[in-house]
Amino acid sequence: MRWFEETIETLLSLGVREFCVCAGKRNAPLVSLLDGIEGIQIYRHFEERSAAFFALGRTLDSGRPVAVVTTSGTAAGELLPAMMEATYVGAPLIAVTADRPRSYRGSGAPQACEQKEIFGVYASVSIDCEEREKLVLPIWDKKSPLHLNLCLEEPKILPSIRMRATEETFSVSHPPFQGECLLEFTRRVKKPLVMVSTLHPSERQGVEAFLRSFKAPVILEGVSGLRGLESLKPYVLKSTESVQPFDGILKLGGVPTLRAWRDLEDLEGKIELLSISRTRYRGLSWGAHVTADLATLPHLSGEWDFAELKNQDRLASAEIVELLQKYPTSEPGMVHALSKKMEADARVYLGNSLPIREWDLAACEEAPRAVWASRGLNGIDGQLSTALGLKADWALLG
């Protein structure tokens, strides 16, 4: 049974301290061992798909890898939607799937499906290991999903262990920003617009400092964590629905939900576009993209004339306020009312596109800044489970 202990120790060495367990007969030895380890958190689920999204929420909240442990067969396949989402949001979700021994593959025996590399491109690292084989881990960036497929004999006895997971700091390295592309962008444009979407909490201070020095008009989505900051109010546009007045777009963080962002798809060659984020995805089929830690953005000075745009934005924002007061039972009106009732330090989860857009449109200035959304694939799958995993105080779903 030492092999099972070494498997658990490997997961602990990767930084895993939380396990979402969907127990079955084939993964029973792993489940039994986990019960004897102090210093870890175990969540028990009876449905694998929900468990995987809950685990995704936990890793988004903690910043650490979280493992979801399943038995064999379709139980493993149920993890695919969450693994897909984790890929596009850059989350270290680990799928630990029990499997029948390799000799059963292609046999059609009960629960003997093709689990090796079952997640395809949605697991940046996929390991297939037979019981008693040495488990060898390739290099893993800890910013993407990992699949550990364990080929196990049917257990005859359940092992037990008494050990404690050590407390240690977990960190992931992100490449620092190299400034030449940003300098080139500023040389090419005369009327830039900055769009800021999902930021890691550690990036927010650096992005705020950059925006203060750059002094360009900016759209702040709720998931940026920067909405309502007094220091950025001179630059914020609240009601921009078109990129027509601008000749360059600088996107910071995740992929925006704005209609104006999607409209850029048809403007290739007509407008400059630079995307900078922790993930490798720019969110459009064209444009320059840099993968970097936004906490390392330089304090690039800029002076841009957008007084007329700011005045138009004030008028449009005043109209929105008037409409919210006139129609308090409309969906935006209710979102506005709810945002006023939330504590300033509340954790808010928005799922999916419509609640995000209505929050950005109608949430009050004093609304909480700890706003989360699962936006990798814009899907409606797993929203409630992800919100529970994130330990959100409020979840606006629809």
Same domain, 316 and 225: yes
Q: Is residue 80 domain-resident? A: yes
pLDDT at 254 over 90: yes
Tens of pLDDT, residues 54-63: 999 999 999 9
Q: What is the pLDDT at residue 110?
A: 80
Residue 386 pLDDT level (bands cut at 50, 70, 90): very high
Q: Which residues contact 18 (CB under 8 A, 6 or more apart)?
A: 40, 41, 42, 43, 55, 58, 62, 64, 66, 67
Tens of pLDDT, residues 137-192: 899 999 999 999 999 988 766 666 677 777 777 778 888 888 789 999 999 999 99
Q: How many domains does the chain have?
A: 2
Same domain, 49 and 83: yes
Q: Which of 205, 172, 192, 211 is nearest to 291 (CA)?
A: 172
pLDDT at 379 over 80: no
Q: Is residue 159 domain-resident? A: yes
Q: What is the pLDDT at residue 158?
A: 67
Residue 119 pLDDT level (bands cut at 50, 70, 90): very high
pLDDT at 92 over 70: yes
Q: What is the pLDDT at residue 159?
A: 63
Average pLDDT value for residue range 384-390: 96
Q: Which two tokens stand for residue 98?
A: 């029990």
Percent of the chain with pLDDT over 70: 98
Q: What is the pLDDT at residue 330?
A: 97
Q: Is residue 175 domain-resident? A: no
Report the CATH number that the domain containing residue 67 is assigned in CATH: 3.40.50.970
Average pLDDT value for residue range 47-66: 96
Q: What is the mean pLDDT of the chain?
A: 92
Q: Which of 117, 135, 164 is the last residue of a domain?
A: 164
Q: What is the pLDDT at residue 17?
A: 96
Report the CATH number that the domain containing residue 237 is assigned in CATH: 3.40.50.1220
Q: What is the pLDDT at residue 1?
A: 65
Average pLDDT value for residue range 193-204: 95
Select the more confidently predicted residue: 65 or 379. Answer: 65
Tens of pLDDT, residues 276-311: 999 999 999 999 999 999 999 998 888 899 999 999
**pTM summary value:** 0.93
Residue-range definition of the domain harbouring residue 64? 2-164
Average pLDDT value for residue range 370-378: 83
Percent of the chain with pLDDT over 90: 74
Q: What is the pLDDT at residue 221?
A: 95
Same domain, 309 and 236: yes
Q: Is residue 386 domain-resident? A: yes
Same domain, 147 and 195: no
Q: Is residue 173 domain-resident? A: no
Tens of pLDDT, residues 333-346: 999 999 999 999 99
Average pLDDT value for residue range 62-78: 95
Q: What is the pLDDT at residue 394?
A: 97
Same domain, 158 and 189: no
